[in-house]
Structure 1
C-alpha cells in the first residue's frame, strides 16, 4: 500500500529555513552563479538556494542564456525593453515561487535576488507577485517595465522590502538606471534601500 501524503504541517516543516532564489545575468548560467554565490551562505545551512538557468537565446550572431531580449547597451534610465519578453520571464519566476509556496514555504521566507539582467527580472517579478515576500536584493539591475505598470503592482507586493546595490563604474547598466529604479519603487511606497558601490562588481557579467 502506498504511503499517505504528508500532512500540511509536515510539508511546512520540510520547507523550514526559507529560500533564496538567485537569477543570474545574461550570458551566465545558474551553475556558474552557484559556484560564486553559494559560499556566502555557508554559515546559514538552513537556507535553501535555487539557481535556475535562463533559456538559450540568439542575440545577433551570439547564442547565450538570457531571461529576455537584450536591448542596446549601456542600459540607461530611459532604455526601452521588450516588455512582452519581460512578462514571459516574470511568469516563469512566478511559477517557481508558486511551487515553493504550495510546498509549504511561507512567502515571507522567500528572497528573490539577481545580478544585472537577473536583477531586473528579480524586481519585475517581485513587483507583480500577489504576495508579500521576505525581500528582494538587486545587484546592478534596473526596472525593465515602464511606469505605466505601477497600476498593476498589488498592495501585497508593495510591502516587500528591497535592497539595491549599484556600482558607480558600471558600464553596462549605468548608475542612473539603478538610481531611477530605486526612486520608482519609493514612489510606489516601497521600502527600497540604495547602496552605492564605488567600483564595478567583480562578478558583473551581462545586461
Structure 2
C-alpha cells in the first residue's frame, strides 16, 4: 500500500467516525439548523466554526453539531466551511509523480511531509492566507451582532493547525480555540503579530498518543508554544487514540464550551 493510499485511508476512517455519531433530535419547536434572528441580543447567541482536516469536506463533519444538545446551544449557529481544492506536496508519489505539485484535494494550505513531527517544514505563507479567510468568517458574525467572546473556532488535524493560527492572530479575544490532533504551523516570528487581547483567548488541545499522521510530539509542542506567548491552554492526551476524532473528545468539548459561555454571560450581567 502506497503512502498516499495509507494517508487517504486514515482520512476516510476519521470521516466515517464522525459520520457515525448518532444524530439527536433538536429541542421541540426548534428547526434542525437554527439561524437566530439579528435582533436578538448578541451576548445570548454563539457561533461555532469547525475547520476540517486535509482531504475532508463540510458535509462529513456536520453530524458533530448533534452531540451538543445542552440548552446553552439552542441559539448557537454552526459553520462547516470546505477548504479549496489544491495540490498538496506530501501527496506526491515519488515513483509516479503527477504534473502538479501533488495530488489535488481539499486543503487549507500546503503540507510538505507526513507524518507531521515537531520539526516538519511549514507553509507559513499559505497558513497566513488561509487565516485571512477564517477572519473574514468571524468578522461577518461579529457584524451580525454576536459578541466575540461567544465565538469558538475548532479544527481537526490541518484544521486544528489553522485554528491555532486564526485564533492567535485575530485582534480580539474570542470564546476559545479547540485544536484536535493539530500542530503549530508557523515559526516563532509570527508571535509579534499576536495582539494583547488575542493572548487572552483560552485553548483546548486534544491529541491521540497513538497518532501516526500528526505525531504526538507535534501536539505536545502546542501548549509550550501557547504558554510562551502568554495564552492559556488545557492539554488532553488520549492514550489509545490514533489520527481521528473520538466521541469522548467531543463530549468534553461540549462541557468546555458551556463553562465559557456561562462565564461570558455572567460577566455581561
Q: What's the counterpart of residue 158 of structure 2?
A: 117
Match of 1:177 among 197, 209, 218: 218
Kindly indicate whether residue 164 of structure 2 is the aligned counterpart of residue 137 of structure 1. Answer: no
Asked whether the 8 Å contact 2:160–2:182 carries over to 1, the reply is: yes
Q: What's the counterpart of residue 28 of structure 1?
A: 56
Superposed CA RMSD = 1.6
Kindly indicate whether residue 61 of structure 2 is the aligned counterpart of residue 38 of structure 1. Answer: no
Match of 1:53 among 82, 104, 117: 82
How many residues in Structure 1 have an aligned counterpart in Structure 2?
194
Give 1:18 shift.
0.2
TM-score (norm 2): 0.69
Asked whether the 8 Å contact 1:12–1:103 carries over to 2, the reply is: no
Asked whether the 8 Å contact 2:213–2:243 carries over to 1, the reply is: no
TM-score (norm 1): 0.89
Q: What's the counterpart of residue 70 of structure 1?
A: 111
Matches within 5 A, 1:73-84: 73-84=114-125
Larger Rg: 2
Name the CA distance, whole Å, in 2 between partners of 1:20 and 1:12. Answer: 19
Asked whether the 8 Å contact 1:131–1:156 carries over to 2, the reply is: yes
Higher RCO (C-alpha 8 Å, min separation 6): 1
Name the CA distance, whole Å, in 2 between partners of 1:45 and 1:154. Answer: 32
Query: 3-state DSSP class of the match of 2:40?
Result: helix
Query: 3-state DSSP class of the match of 1:137?
Result: strand
Q: What's the counterpart of residue 98 of structure 1?
A: 139
Structure having the higher helix fraction is 2
CA 1:12 to 1:196, structure 2 compared with 1: closer, same or farther past 3 Å? farther
Name the CA distance, whole Å, in 2 between partners of 1:65 and 1:14. Answer: 36
Name the CA distance, whole Å, in 2 between partners of 1:198 and 1:125. Answer: 28
Give 1:17 shift.
2.1
Structure having the higher strand fraction is 1
Q: What's the counterpart of residue 152 of structure 1?
A: 193
Instruction: Return 5+ residue gaps in structure 2 as ranges.
Output: 1-36, 93-97, 246-269
Give 1:69 shift.
0.3
Give 1:48 shift.
1.3
Asked whether the 8 Å contact 1:20–1:49 carries over to 2, the reply is: yes
Query: 3-state DSSP class of the match of 2:221?
Result: helix
Q: What's the counterpart of residue 236 of structure 2?
A: 195
Asked whether the 8 Å contact 1:20–1:111 carries over to 2, the reply is: yes
Give 1:14 shift.
6.6
